[in-house]
Amino acid sequence: MPTFTSNDAQINYQTFGNAANPALIFSNSLGTNYGMWQKQFTHFIDDYFVICYDTRGHGASSAPQGPYTLQQLGQDVVNLLNHLNIQKAAFCGISMGGLTGQWLAINKPERFSHVIVCNTAAKIGQEHAWNERAALVREQGLAPIASTAASRWFTDKFIQSNTAEVEKLQNSLAAGSAEGYASCCEALAKADLRELLKEITVPVLVIAGQQDPVTTVADGQFMVEHIPNSQMLEINASHISNIEQPEQFNHLLQSFLS
């Protein structure tokens, strides 16, 4: 797997398809890795130069001592584009990756043609709750978080009919870096872009899960009410909608990008 150095982190990434095609970069959710986008990169590989990476502290990327900041998470993406000599890309991020996408749209608009933010919010959760989770993970590891992740990520129906896939994701979370996860929790604790959304000029698509208990349809509506050039589409899924409803998810992305 190729890696590159972004400030204090080694970032693991993978590319798919022809580098002459328009670039499309995917950003993972908290506690997952770039493999969560499998059904997206196989779909988009013919028309796009697809770039996936593991957010710092996740997957095969390194987990330098935290806390991290949203600015660091965003700058890692810019540094990856620079490393690949890509001037402009479309960006798609989910949950934590969606917050990264909003930061990029606000701070680095010249680098992005389109930004898709999925199952996310301009502020996710409460600061004290994220800090408590970070402390818990540093103390007890990721096993307790992994054991309850499925109920936050997917609908009961999906869990019951896709047990192997759900188990694989939970096992991957449990085997991850506690320090990396906790440090990203601390980034989410501080991240609040609500007052800055009005500055976004890049075309934005918000995808909201109708059954998402973490980042709700109301969170999506708040974003489109405050981002000038934006639209929202709903998907009948819980929090990780790209895995729960891949065909519908890919269709929404394809329509927006074209």
Domain boundaries, the chain: 3-124+192-257
Round to whole Å and give the CA distance between 35 and 229. 30
Q: In what order do the strands lie in the sheet with 204-209?
A: 3-6, 9-16, 49-53, 23-27, 89-94, 112-118, 204-209, 230-235
Q: For every one of its 258 residues, what pLDDT tens digit does the chain have, with 9 covering 90 and above?
A: 799 999 999 999 999 999 999 999 999 999 999 999 999 999 999 999 999 999 999 999 999 999 999 999 999 999 999 999 999 999 999 999 999 999 999 999 999 999 999 999 999 999 999 999 999 999 999 999 999 999 999 999 999 999 999 999 999 999 999 999 999 999 999 999 999 999 999 999 999 999 999 999 999 999 999 999 999 999 999 999 999 999 999 999 999 999
Q: How distant is the alpha carbon of residue 221 from its chain centre?
A: 19
Res 187: pLDDT: 98
Q: How many CA atoms lie within 13 A of 25 on its CB side?
A: 30
- Of the chain, the end-to-end C-alpha distance in Å amounts to 30
- Which pLDDT score is estimated for 1? 79
Whole-model pTM?
0.98
Collect contacts of 138-141 with beta carbons under 8 A, ≥24 apart.
138/178, 138/179, 138/182, 141/174, 141/178
- Grouping H, G, I as helix, E, B as strand and the rest as coil, residue 129 is helix
Give me the architecture of the 3-124+192-257 domain, per CATH. 3-Layer(aba) Sandwich (3.40)
215 in Cβ contact with 239 (< 8 Å): yes
